[in-house]
Amino acid sequence: MATEVENVWQDREVRFDLEPRQLKLSPGEVLVEEIDSVEDTKGSNGDHGTLKVTNLRLIWYATSMPQTNLSIGYMTISNATVDTHGSTESLNLITKNFNSKFEFIFTGTNTGESMLFAAVLKMHKAYEESKMFRDLKMRGSFMTEDGQLELLPGEQLVERVEEVWNLSSDTDNVGVMLLTNIRVVWFSTNNNKFNVSIPYLQLAKCWIRDAKLSQTLVIETSVLSGEYVLGYRIDSDTRLQEVCKSIQSLQETYIKKPNFGVPEAETREQQTPGEAEAEEPEFL
């Protein structure tokens, strides 16, 4: 079951002059702040426009020509600073997009406003501190010593499956598989630091492979997370199939409204993509 989450690019890329549909909020994306009268000082000939801050990226478009626009994903930002020149603030960004580096400078033209770009720095920091929601993690420190999962904000444990054998190492390890509304976690019973956390965002495919003696639950991860192929076995083939169906169902639910890990307290009133469209210029 290939998933739509593999097509999430908003937080991972820098894109220029996008089509209107690519500037609309994607499922799970929320608008945090909208800053008017922002000049793209380094590019776009210093055009004035609007800067939108979401939980995944920055969107800027020129007021006079919205076809001139930018989308800057937080994952691409290596450095973000705000400089003050008298009563004027500028946002300086250093980004890396694949093998290319870009520098952006945005200047607020409404003089006298302080902390104009505070939301940008705050959201970028929140994004950096919430990687467990989005990134595959092996041998992490997300388990307590008594075998309990340290739940992420808003995460709920849905199912705990005992005696699940990990077939991906040289020596078979028996452990526990945990299914939540955000990820699949497996850890060894003998050493809970031997573990893996697979967010549904990085789960490319989950399926059952038939073998002579028993069936195997196969989890394939996305290209972004290394394209791992992980195998698990449960003594009961019926139970194994139930677990596979549970993972597929939980991921389908997740896809409808992904949780990228930004605390709701950091965002303004949440909007669905349809609601946000009404606020956009005609082009967007």
What's the pLDDT tens digit per position in 117-141? 999 999 999 999 999 999 999 999 9
Residue type at 162? E
In the predicted model, is pLDDT for residue 86 greater than 50?
yes
Q: To the nearest 10°, report the CA torsion of 36, 268, 153, 3.
A: -70
β-strand 216-221 against 173-180: which pairing, if any? unpaired
Per-residue pLDDT for 210 more than 70?
A: yes
Beta strand 137-138 pairing with 195-199: antiparallel
What count of other Cβ atoms lies within 10 Å of the Cβ of residue 273?
14
Q: Residue 211: what pLDDT?
A: 75
Residues of the chain with pLDDT > 70, as a percent, come to 87
Please say whether the beta carbons of 187 and 195 come within 8 A: yes
Contact of 18 with 284, CB cutoff 8 Å = no
Q: Return d(Cα 184, Cα 82) in angstroms, integer.
A: 38
Run of H or E including 247: helix 237-256
**Mean pLDDT to the nearest integer, 143-154:** 92
CB 95 within 8 A of CB 60: no
pLDDT surpassing 90 at residue 275: no
pLDDT at 5 exceeding the cut of 80:
no
Rounded to an integer, the average pLDDT of 94-101 is: 94
Measured in residues, the chain has a length of: 284
| Number of CB atoms found within 10 A of residue 225's CB | 19
**For the purposes of burial, counting CB atoms within 10 Å of the CB of 144, is it exposed (0-12), middle (13-18) or buried (19 or more)?**
exposed
- 3-state secondary structure at position 257: coil
- What are the phi and psi torsion angles at 30 (to 5°)? -130, 145
- Residues 100, 89: Cα–Cα separation, whole Å: 27
Q: Which amino acid is at 151?
A: L
Mean pLDDT of 96-101: 93
Radius of gyration of the chain (CA): 22
| Residue 129, helix vs strand vs coil | coil
Helix (H, G, I), strand (E, B) or coil at 52: strand
> Is the pLDDT confidence value at 3 over 60?
no
The model carries a pTM of 0.86
Which residues have C-beta within 8 Å of that of residue 249, sequence separation ≥ 6? none
Residue 272 pLDDT greater than 50, yes or no: no
Residue 44 confidence (pLDDT):
73
The whole-number pLDDT of residue 213 equals 73
User: Which has the closest alpha carbon to 202: 179, 219, 181, 217?
Assistant: 219
Q: How many CB atoms lie within 10 A of CB 190?
A: 9
Chain segment 20-77, per-residue pLDDT in tens: 999 999 999 999 999 999 999 988 777 899 999 999 999 999 999 999 999 999 999 9
